[in-house]
Structure 1
Amino acid sequence: MKSLIIYCSSYKNNTEKIARVFSEKMDSELINIKDITDVNIISYNLIGFGSGVYKESLSPKLFELAEKLDLKNKNVFVFSTSGIGMTFYNKKLIKLLMAKGAVNIGSFACKGNFIAREFSNNKLFDYIGRLSQGHPNDRDFKYAERFIERVLDSLEKNSKNK
């Protein structure tokens, strides 16, 4: 199975660290969105889209690229890193991918290290920032490995049932 991971990781490279875990586990190609304007996805069976969370959303560049791609019947998954590490940030991109005809196989999120004072003076962000220090860590990487193993198992079962 040929797979591709497209990611945006521009702050502390938290998302790139997770993308590399997925890439090694799947033996996939890995592309930082800053290095491309368009990509040919015809030969890929599985495509991962990942981003850090910037101003409460995934990277606009990832949405722009997804809009351009023909994703009909493509297996996809979405992943993100943020101060709180919750998958709800992935929902908007998943919705777009599915509207383009993609088959969503999964959604993954984990905490990513950030320094709150670089974004806000709000005490809540300072607290969240302190909790995110050291992430992604070994536990996050193991969680990422288990996630991608489930994705691959799901694809294998689906291909056997066809």
Structure 2
Amino acid sequence: MKTAICYYSRHHGNTRKVLDAMAQEGEVDLIDVTTRQAVQLEDYDCIGFASGIYGFEFQTSVAAFARQYLPQGKPVFFVYTYGGAKGNGAKAVAEIAKEKHCPVLGEFSCKGYDTFGPFKLVGGIAKGHPNERDLENARKFFQKIQEHKTDQ
């Protein structure tokens, strides 16, 4: 199953660490939504959207990318990391997927080291995350996504 994961990962690279772990489990193209590129998501069997949580939401460039490039009816899944709270998680991209009649295969989240704003004053929160257990859970999640897709 050919999979694209469209992502935004900055600051400590938490989300990218999770995606790199998932990419070990299959044919995955990681697409950084901040790079200007011609993207043909129609060529993929499944599409993931991934981001850290910024102000309780997915990073806005991921939602904008989904709105522009997500094909109608394509199976999707969501991945995100967060420091203190999940906030609304993948709500914004989930709504876009719903508008485009895309079945949602699942959602994975885990803590990620965060030094934003006041957290910097205390040395950050969720130190050491994502850890090896988080990454193993991410790999298992992606394996289930692949199994679900091949069953259809």
**TM-score in terms of structure 1 length:** 0.84
Following superposition of structure 1 onto structure 2, how do residues 120-139 of structure 1 map, counting pairs within 5 Å? 120=118, 129-130=124-125, 132-139=126-133
**TM-score in terms of structure 2 length:** 0.89
Equivalent position amino acid for 1:137 in 2: N
C-alpha RMSD over aligned residues: 2.2
Distance (Å, rounded) in 2 between the aligned partners of 1:69 and 1:32: 13
- Summarize the Cα distance change of 1:137–1:53 in structure 2 as closer, same or farther, 3 Å threshold: same
**Per-residue deviation, residues 96-142 of structure 1 (Å, max 9, x unmatched):** 21212211101110000012xx4127x9xx59x43x00000000001
* Bigger RCO (CA 8 Å, 6+ sep): 2
- Summarize the Cα distance change of 1:88–1:149 in structure 2 as closer, same or farther, 3 Å threshold: farther
Following superposition of structure 1 onto structure 2, how do residues 1-162 of structure 1 map, counting pairs within 5 Å? 1-36=1-36, 38-84=38-84, 86=86, 88-115=88-115, 118-120=116-118, 129-130=124-125, 132-157=126-151, 159=152
- Summarize the Cα distance change of 1:80–1:70 in structure 2 as closer, same or farther, 3 Å threshold: closer
Distance (Å, rounded) in 2 between the aligned partners of 1:70 and 1:81: 22
Greater fraction of residues in helix: 1
Deviation of 1:148 after TM superposition, in Å, equals: 0.7
Determine what percentage of the aligned residue pairs are the same residue.
26
Distance (Å, rounded) in 2 between the aligned partners of 1:49 and 1:29: 12
User: Does the CA contact (< 8 Å) of 2:56 and 2:88 recur in 1?
Assistant: no
User: Does the CA contact (< 8 Å) of 2:50 and 2:79 recur in 1?
Assistant: yes
The unaligned stretches of length 5 or more in structure 1 are none
Distance (Å, rounded) in 1 between the aligned partners of 2:111 and 2:53: 10
- Number of positions where the alignment pairs a residue of Structure 1 with one of Structure 2: 152
The runs of 4+ residues in structure 1 deviating greater than 2 Å are 84-88
- Structure with higher Rg: it is 1
The unaligned stretches of length 5 or more in structure 2 are none
User: Does the CA contact (< 8 Å) of 1:5 and 1:23 recur in 2?
Assistant: no
